[in-house]
Structure 1
Amino acid sequence: MKFHFRFSLQDPPFHIRLAVSTLSIFMASYIAPGVHLRDILAAFIVALVLAVFNITIKPMLILLTLPVTLFTFGIFLFVINALVILIAADLVNGFDVSGFWSALFYSFLVSVISGILHAIAQNLSQRTPPTRPQA
């Protein structure tokens, strides 16, 4: 029996992805109107909750909305992300989202910021450390 893992060898480890998600969630909360995070700990808890939701609930939502997602060339995935964010806001103390449109804009911001931070983290991990001259 073979096991297939979702992540390739080039994907960053879970703790790096979680840190990037936490920072993205925290940074986007300062930009998005209608979204309030109490502190960085709340952002970390939101990142954990969203990670669990992305593994469990989100694939079912994507499957149920596949025709709409295909018709909109994937843009409907932001609507799914907004719904997942609204669910997370109901569960996590210190994370408040005022409505659907705030969640939609917030999901877009988190995606953009996360993409930028992942690119920076990947660039930093591929750098070779400077060599010291041998004495």
Structure 2
Amino acid sequence: MKIFLKLLLTAIAVIVLAAILPGITVANYVTAFIVSIIISLLNMFVKPLLIFFTLPATIITLGLFLFVINAIIIILAGKLVSGFVVSGFFTALIFSVLLSVFRSFLFSLMKEEKK
């Protein structure tokens, strides 16, 4: 149930960011939910491989290259989902940073207090 709620919150963040950023287009709510699933799967399977293969660049840039990897993940999601359009790399970079901020904020609201 918690995974479904996280996917739903990510879909809401995608819809809000698509309304704010001019280079991002989401067709409908179902597309936003599919985008959240695809981004989660890409973060789970593709992102560790990209981090491994670009480890020297990540070390040299002191971790800033991870922003580029996140933008690549967003561009891949745009290629895989037909109703989700990303206009360019810079837009994907801004979208990925804002999505991370929104997700961390929304997920922090979801945490339960430990007794």
**Structure 1 length normalisation: TM-score?**
0.77
Q: Does the alignment pair 1:40 with 2:12?
A: no
Please list every run of 5 or more consecutive structure 2 residues that lacks an aligned counterpart in the other structure: none
- Deviation string 1:18-74 (CA, Å, 9 cap, x unpaired) is 122112222111122201111111110001111111111111001011122222232
Q: Which aligned segments of 4 or more residues in structure 1 are displaced greater than 4 angstroms?
A: none
> Between Structure 1 and Structure 2, how many residues are aligned?
115
SS at match of 1:74: coil
Rg (Cα) greater in structure = 1
State how far apart, in whole Å, the 1-side matches of 2:64 and 2:96 are.
12
Partner of 2:57: 68
Name the stretch that deviates more: 19-28 or 60-69: 19-28
- The answer (yes or no) to whether the contact 1:26–1:40 under 8 Å persists in 2 is yes
Please list every run of 5 or more consecutive structure 1 residues that lacks an aligned counterpart in the other structure: 1-11, 129-135
- The answer (yes or no) to whether the contact 1:89–1:95 under 8 Å persists in 2 is yes
CA-based RMSD of the aligned residues comes to: 1.9
Question: Which of the pair is proportionally richer in helix?
Answer: 2
Q: Does the alignment pair 1:96 with 2:85?
A: yes
Partner of 2:8: 19
Q: Does the alignment pair 1:107 with 2:76?
A: no
Report the AA paired with residue 43 of structure 1: A
Determine what percentage of the aligned residue pairs are the same residue: 37
**Structure 2 length normalisation: TM-score?**
0.89
- Relative to structure 1, the CA distance from residue 40 to residue 127 in structure 2 (aligned partners, 3 Å threshold; closer, same or farther) is farther
